[in-house]
C-alpha cells in the first residue's frame, strides 16, 4: 500500500514550465530530469560554464554574490516561479554569482543546449524567458535598494514573505545565521528583528524553524519592496496559459 505522505512531483508545478504553450512544452518534457535539490547544494559556482538549467518545484535556490573577503549576500531567490541559469540564454554562459539551494526539495534539470535550441526559435518560449528575466532583474534591483535604505526588520519581513510565496506551507527551516548571510547583515541584527516579530505574534521561532503565524502582520511591517517584486512577477508572467499539473 502506498504511503499517504508520498509527494507527487510534476514539471507543471514550476510556473514557468506551466506557462509554456502545449507544443513548446511537449518538445522539452521528454528531456526534463527530476533531480533532488538538497539544502546547501551548489547548483553552479561563480565563473562556471552552465551545463544545465534548473526549474525548481518544491526547492528554493538563492543567488549569492561573493566578495573577495569571503562575505556574501543574496541578490535574488528562485523558486517554483522561475528558472536557475538565465545567463545561459542571455548570452553570458557564466555568471559571477553562486547558486545555492536555500530550501531543500525537488526540481527539474534540462541540458543547456536543449533550452538554447528552444530559445533560438525566437517564439513564445523566448518571449516567456525574457519576461521572466525582466522580473528577476526587478527582484535584484529591489533587493539592492532594500538592503541600502530599509531596516533589518523590514528586510527580514520581505525575505520571509518572498520565501513563503514559494512554499506550500507556512513553516520555514532556516537558522538566524543563514538568514543573516542571505541579507548580508550581522546575526545580532536578525536576532533582534526576529525577536520583535515574535513578540508581536507575527512569527514563532524555535531551533531553526520559523512558523509564520500572522502573514498580514508581516505584510504591514515590510517595506514596499515586497509588493513591487510580487506585482512585477504577476504582471510579466500571468498572461501565460497555465496547464493543470
Which pLDDT value is given to residue 4?
Answer: 43
Report pLDDT digits (tens) over 162-192.
Answer: 999 998 889 888 878 888 877 878 889 988 9
> At 240, is the pLDDT very low, low, confident or very high (cuts 50, 70, 90)?
low
Which pLDDT value is given to residue 121?
Answer: 93
Long-range pairs, 171-174, Cβ under 8 A, ≥24: 171/209, 171/210, 171/211, 171/212, 172/103, 172/209, 172/210, 172/211, 172/212, 173/39, 173/103, 173/208, 173/209, 173/210, 174/102, 174/103, 174/208, 174/210
User: Who wins on pLDDT, 152 or 73?
Assistant: 152
Report pLDDT digits (tens) over 209-231.
Answer: 899 999 999 999 999 999 999 99
pLDDT at 1 over 60: no
pLDDT at 77 over 60: yes
Which pLDDT value is given to residue 153?
Answer: 94
Report pLDDT digits (tens) over 117-136.
Answer: 999 999 999 999 999 999 99
Report pLDDT digits (tens) over 142-153.
Answer: 999 998 899 999
Average pLDDT, the chain: 88
Report pLDDT digits (tens) over 85-94.
Answer: 999 998 877 7
Amino acid at each position: 500500500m502506498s504511503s499517504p505522505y508520498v509527494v507527487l512531483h510534476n514539471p507543471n508545478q514550476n510556473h514557468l514550465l506551466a506557462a509554456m504553450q502545449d507544443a513548446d512544452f511537449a518538445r522539452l518534457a521528454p528531456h526534463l530530469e527530476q533531480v533532488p535539490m538538497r539544502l546547501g547544494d551548489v547548483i553552479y559556482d561563480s565563473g562556471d560554464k552552465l551545463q544545465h538549467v534548473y526549474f525548481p518545484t518544491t526547492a528554493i535556490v538563492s543567488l549569492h554574490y561573493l566578495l573577495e573577503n569571503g562575505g556574501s549576500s543574496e541578490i535574488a531567490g528562485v523558486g517554483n516561479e522561475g528558472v536557475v541559469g538565465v545567463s545561459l540564454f542571455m548570452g553570458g554562459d557564466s555568471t559571477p554569482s553562486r547558486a545555492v539551494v536555500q530550501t531543500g526539495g525537488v526540481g527539474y534539470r534540462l541540458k543547456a543546449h536543449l533550452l538554447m535550441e528552444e530559445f533560438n526559435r525566437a517564439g513564445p518560449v523566448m518571449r516567456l524567458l525574457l519576461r521572466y528575466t525582466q522580473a528577476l532583474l526587478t527582484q535584484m534591483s529591489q533587493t539592492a535598494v532594500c538592503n541600502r535604505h530599509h531596516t533589518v526588520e523590514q528586510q527580514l519581513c520581505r525575505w520571509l514573505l518572498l520565501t513563503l510565496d514559494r512554499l506550500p506551507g507556512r513553516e520555514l527551516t532556516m537558522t538566524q545565521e543563514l538568514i543573516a548571510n542571505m541579507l548580508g547583515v550581522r546575526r545580532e541584527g536578525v536576532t533582534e528583528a526576529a525577536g520583535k516579530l515574535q513578540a508581536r505574534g507575527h512569527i514563532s521561532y524555535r531551533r531553526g524553524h520559523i512558523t509564520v503565524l500572522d502573514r498580514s502582520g508581516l505584510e504591514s511591517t515590510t517595506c514596499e519592496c515586497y509588493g513591487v517584486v510580487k506585482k512585477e512577477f504577476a504582471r510579466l508572467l500571468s498572461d501565460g496559459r497555465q496547464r493543470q499539473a
